[in-house]
Amino acid sequence: DQQVKQNSPSLSVQEGRISILNCDYTNSMFDYFLWYKKYPAEGPTFLISISSIKDKNEDGRFTVFLNKSAKHLSLHIVPSQPGDSAVYFCAASGSGNTPLVFGKGTRLSVIA
């Protein structure tokens, strides 16, 4: 049973518009939530994270929102650029030494 779900396998967005990637989780023990970006032939690259005590974290064009009651988080990219085209993974972990649990990923295509 998947604890972290990314229900949209792919997303296509026009350059300059907003990209919204969604992620749901089932385990209420998760404390940290992270987004990774992955290009072909490369490992996942850390993008942005959020602690469960916050509901928003912003870093430049990237903002992550966390809704704990709904067990839902989303990544907003504004404005979207062609270089943002990649697979985005949502991941979660508990406190202490627990490992990351990943979703299946969403492939974002930003069209010029």
Positions touching another protein (CB under 8 A) are 4, 6, 32, 34, 36, 41-46, 49, 51, 89, 91, 93, 95-105
Distances (CA, A) of 74 to 21, 69, 110: 5, 14, 17
Q: To which residue do tokens 């993008």 refer?
A: 47
The DSSP code for 30 is -
Q: By C-beta, is 7 or 14 nearer to another protein?
A: 7
Q: By C-beta, is 1 or 112 nearer to another protein?
A: 1
Dmax (CA) of the chain: 43
Q: By C-beta, is 17 or 54 nearer to another protein?
A: 54
Q: By C-beta, is 36 or 86 nearer to another protein?
A: 36
In the bound complex, what is the minimum distance in angstroms from residue 78's beta carbon to another protein? 23
Alpha-carbon distance 57 to 49, whole Å?
7
In the bound complex, what is the minimum distance in angstroms from residue 14's beta carbon to another protein? 26
In the bound complex, what is the minimum distance in angstroms from residue 74's beta carbon to another protein? 17
Compute how many other C-beta atoms are within 10 angstroms of the C-beta atom of residue 74.
Answer: 16
